[in-house]
Amino acid sequence: MSSLMKPFVQNSIRACVAPILALSLGLTGCASGPKKDDQVETRITEIMSKMSVEQKVAQLIMPDISTITPEDVAKYRFGTILNGGNSGPYGNERSKPEDWLKLADAFWEASRTPHADGSPVIPVLWATDAVHGHSNVVGATLFPHNIGLGATRDPALIREIGRITAAEIKVTGIDWTFAPTLAVVRDDRWGRTYEGYAEDKGLVSELGAAMVEGLQGTGPDFLSQDHVIATAKHFFGDGGTGGVDTGDTVGNEPDLVEMHAFPYRAALKSGAQTVMASFSSINGQKMHGNKSYLTELLKVEMGFDGLVVGDWNGHGRIPGCTNKDCPESINAGLDIFMVPDDWKALLTNTKAAVDSGKISQERLDDAVRRILRVKMRYGLFDLPAPSARKLGGKYALLGSPEHRAVARKAVSESLVLLKNDGVLPINPSKTILVAGEGADSIAKQSGGWTISWQGGGDLTNADFPGAESIFAGIAKQAEAAGGKAILSVDGSYKTKPDVAIVVFGEKPYAEFMGDIKNLSYGDAKPLALLKKFQAQQIPVLAVFLTGRPLWVNKELNASNAFVAAWLPGSEGGGLADVLLQTKAGQVQKDFKGKLSFSWPQACDDYALNPGEANYKPLFGYDFGLTYGEHAAWTKLDEKCALSQPNAENDVAVFARGQSVAPFTLVAADAKGQRLTLAGAKGKSAAGDVQLVSMDRNAQEDARTISWKAGGSFGFEASSALNPAALAEGRAIRIDYQIGTRPTGPVTLSMSCGANCRDEIDITSSLALAEQKGWMTAFLPLSCFKKGTQVGMPFSIQSSGSFEMSISAVTLVDDGGETACRF
């Protein structure tokens, strides 16, 4: 433990029993909720005495279901498994609930197969990311993301949401969720801001503890078969990285601990059984390798006796480690490696580390004991197969009316009214025009971590049976009141409406995919709609779907009322409950939501927190109007220096695993049949070209393209590019690796309209690059014909089979390079 941390630890332990904190958080100490049971510990000791080193090490390995089978579990006896954000049963992320339960049974039975030598049989534990409901499963109830729940300020509601989420998880045979997130978010540029409840550590503590209690139960109901195992994550500092996902939290360490580790005290007191280590660093040291914090602070000083699980290949980011080998993480205090792909090599190498003494037998036994302790507290050893349990296969619970009613309540209580000049509440007997890309999109209103990791993409309303879009909720109430709601995404109409609602906001994203450089909201289409309605003297309400406060001064000025709706989830009708009056003209529900994140006055106010210097928000922490309140409106400054053209010349075509607007991934087979690829995987109509996500430096930050019998793959622009991006002195840079060399000719081309296409043969270059790792190709645009309407700045055509992975495609300055070679 560092000398800087020792005084804090001593003070923090005393602080746990301070009267004020005890009253506000219900704390009487720092230790975990349940006490050690002597009978359980004796049973663990007996089991461990009969386990081989390899069997013990297998308990430390957590593979992803996309890379293992029940047969693998029977052979290697892994202690835990997970389904990542894009991993569904049998390779289908849209699998039916029945398939989830079927696979859960298969893994369970595999782990319960007796050993030939009579050694102990230890059941496998399956974990999932149920972060706003059982959000990977089609038909489940989707609650508002945590940023919306933070606005409710209602721990009892959060506790009930946890209970419902646990029940729906249990239906599909899973026992463990990686929730809640306890990040104290201090910079809203971070792509995981919406996973945090608040920028205030006290509110994060209160609501995080409530979610733990809802998921796991309390008192006699603790870890009963109505509940699941919760995870307090990501320990710690993930919200302080300056807006960079998996970055570095820098500062005085006692202060950082006091801010960012604070919510874990309440979570542990509420009985959290697992803690996930953060991807991020503290003053340059990766948390996955930080013994001072994982062991000395969390386990020793805070008294945590549950297990510490890693994040997705987080151990591989420690200097000197790889995804396949990292004894340093176990020695630092990690108990379970989350290793989605490289589990076989990691199993072998970790056993070798124990055999050589790099990992002590004592540390191995401590990790295994913690894992078995959590399993026994949950009763896992004594349970039948998942389908035979209390809630297993009770599919009527998934998205049940009772569950959806709670989600709808959460939506209505999370809405924050920022502006209202009298347009709200709306009379439902009027003609209401509902416009904007978010008006009738359940995927957009649900955000990331919805069915897939990133959400959005090619998801349609058909993927959300039983759910309700924002428009559908408004239309239902308008029709019942004798009015009319008209859906017009582009805002066009034949008959002038009485009022317009524009629903717009951020596209779905998750983790580093959502990191941004500043808080300026950049989509011009919604602003044009708002201004259009204003000019036509149609009262207009702006409904903003967002995972964080953003600089929307122009949109605020152009609207008569403005509501921050966050990411409400599957129950879009909850908005209508607040925005519309009853048929009799009365308020149905008033606004209750209060900002748990300060709202920026300027586009560079990304680190805006009460108590800090220069705290000048447009709307402060805890702001939120009601129908009984009126705030005079003064036109806001619409200038943002940061929204001027970027001084950097690089234009991203493909980055962080996704195409960058205005580009779209497209594939075509040998017959020319085209397919737009929006998700993490896809294939052309005949299957000749297939695409899957892969990890290079981060989760799913690259794509692997496989050609079977010829076809093409590229990036098509939906609109003309800025001529400056294609001017003289520009080049295209491609970061790639070759898995298998091509069996036929391969060309790289740029298309810029009719009779404007040129190509370069890159067959030999790709053949030489086979199995050589990641490389960078650099081609000046002068090698290609160019025009003003470039539609395909990057396209690869193959006449045979080969495999290529791409992590980045960028238009850059050529630096004087003129050679036309790949």
- The reply to whether 723 falls in a domain is yes
102 and 35, same domain (yes or no): yes
- Among positive and negative, which fits the CA dihedral 792, 796, 800, 803? negative
Domain of residue 603: give its range. 415-643
Residue-level pLDDT at 752 = 60
pLDDT in tens, 223-279: 999 999 999 999 999 999 999 999 999 999 999 999 999 999 999 999 999 999 999
> Is the pLDDT higher at 14 or at 754?
754
CB neighbours of residue 114 within 10 Å: 9
pLDDT in tens, 106-147: 999 999 999 989 999 999 999 999 999 999 999 999 999 999
pLDDT in tens, 722-747: 655 566 677 888 989 999 988 888 88
CB neighbours of residue 698 within 10 Å: 19
Residue-level pLDDT at 790 = 53
Annotated catalytic, 200? no
What kind and span of H or E run contains 766? helix 763-768
Give the CATH number of the domain where residue 717 resides: 2.60.120.430
Residue among 802, 780, 719, 791 nearest 757 (CA): 791
Model's pTM, two decimal places? 0.84
The mean predicted confidence, pLDDT, of the chain is 90
Number of domains in the chain: 3
619 with 596: CB under 8 angstroms? no
From the list 511, 577, 669, 735, the catalytic residue is 511
- The reply to whether 408 falls in a domain is no
85 and 169, same domain (yes or no): yes
pLDDT, mean of residues 426-451: 98
420 and 461, same domain (yes or no): yes
pLDDT, mean of residues 449-478: 96
Whether 514 has a pLDDT exceeding 60, the answer reads: yes
560 and 697, same domain (yes or no): no
DSSP string, 474-492: HHHHHHHTT-EEEE-TT--
pLDDT in tens, 143-201: 999 999 999 999 999 999 999 999 999 999 999 999 999 999 999 999 999 999 999 99
- The reply to whether 540 falls in a domain is yes
pLDDT band of 817, cuts 50, 70, 90:
low
Whether 457 has a pLDDT exceeding 90, the answer reads: no
Query: What percent of the chain clears pLDDT 70, i.e. is strictly above it?
Result: 91
- The reply to whether 820 falls in a domain is no
Decide: residue 800, CB within 10 A, 0-12 exposed, 13-18 middle, 19+ buried. Answer: middle
Q: Residue 542 region, left (φ>0) first, then alpha (ψ -120 to 50), else beta?
A: beta
pLDDT band of 601, cuts 50, 70, 90:
very high
Residue-level pLDDT at 25 = 33
Number of continuous H segments (helices) and E segments (strands) in the chain: 22, 31
Give the end of a domain, one of 621, 643, 665: 643
How far is the CA of 3 from the CAs of 254, 307, 750, in angstroms?
10, 26, 59
The C-alpha atoms of residue 705 and residue 700 are separated, in whole angstroms, by 13
Give the CATH number of the domain where residue 420 resides: 3.40.50.1700
Give the CATH number of the domain where residue 213 resides: 3.20.20.300
Decide: residue 801, CB within 10 A, 0-12 exposed, 13-18 middle, 19+ buried. Answer: middle
| Coil vs helix vs strand at 562 | strand
612 and 672, same domain (yes or no): no
Highest mean pLDDT: which range of 520-524, 566-570, 629-633: 566-570
What kind and span of H or E run contains 533? helix 524-535
Structure tokens at 102: 């079927």
pLDDT in tens, 582-599: 999 999 999 999 999 999
How far is the CA of 803 from the CAs of 12, 86, 144, 793, 816, in angstroms?
54, 21, 40, 21, 31
Nearby residues of 68 by Cβ (< 8 Å), 6 or more positions away:
78, 81, 343
288, amino acid identity: H
Whether 423 has a pLDDT exceeding 90, the answer reads: yes
Decide: residue 455, CB within 10 A, 0-12 exposed, 13-18 middle, 19+ buried. Answer: buried
380, amino acid identity: L
- The reply to whether 819 falls in a domain is no
- The reply to whether 583 falls in a domain is yes
pLDDT band of 66, cuts 50, 70, 90:
very high
The C-alpha atoms of residue 428 and residue 585 are separated, in whole angstroms, by 8
The C-alpha atoms of residue 453 and residue 699 are separated, in whole angstroms, by 10
How far is the CA of 748 from the CAs of 665, 725, 738, 766, 798, in angstroms?
15, 19, 15, 11, 9
The C-alpha atoms of residue 517 and residue 272 are separated, in whole angstroms, by 35
Give the end of a domain, one of 396, 428, 447: 396
Structure tokens at 553: 């001064």
Annotated catalytic, 622? no
Residue-level pLDDT at 28 = 37
Give the end of a domain, one of 396, 427, 462: 396
pLDDT in tens, 693-719: 888 888 888 999 888 877 888 888 776
309 with 62: CB under 8 angstroms? yes
The phi and psi torsions of 98 (rounded to 5 degrees) equal -60, -35
344 and 432, same domain (yes or no): no
The phi and psi torsions of 698 (rounded to 5 degrees) equal -150, 170
Residue among 573, 538, 565 nearest 440 (CA): 573
- The reply to whether 405 falls in a domain is no
149 and 286, same domain (yes or no): yes
What kind and span of H or E run contains 248? strand 248-249
The residues that bridge with 784 in the sheet, in sequence order, are: none
620 and 664, same domain (yes or no): no
Whether 216 has a pLDDT exceeding 70, the answer reads: yes
What angle separates helix 38-49 from helix 361-378, to the nearest 10 degrees? 130
Whether 11 has a pLDDT exceeding 80, the answer reads: no
421 and 378, same domain (yes or no): no
Structure tokens at 685: 């109509």
Decide: residue 638, CB within 10 A, 0-12 exposed, 13-18 middle, 19+ buried. Answer: middle
426 and 338, same domain (yes or no): no
Residue among 390, 44, 4, 419 nearest 228 (CA): 390
154 and 240, same domain (yes or no): yes
From the list 93, 168, 296, 311, the catalytic residue is 311
The C-alpha atoms of residue 162 and residue 712 are separated, in whole angstroms, by 46
Structure letter (DSSP) for residue 602: S
622 and 693, same domain (yes or no): no
283 with 292: CB under 8 angstroms? no
Residue-level pLDDT at 713 = 84
pLDDT band of 663, cuts 50, 70, 90:
confident
Whether 821 has a pLDDT exceeding 60, the answer reads: yes
- The reply to whether 11 falls in a domain is yes
Residue among 115, 89, 86 nearest 102 (CA): 89
pLDDT, mean of residues 523-537: 96
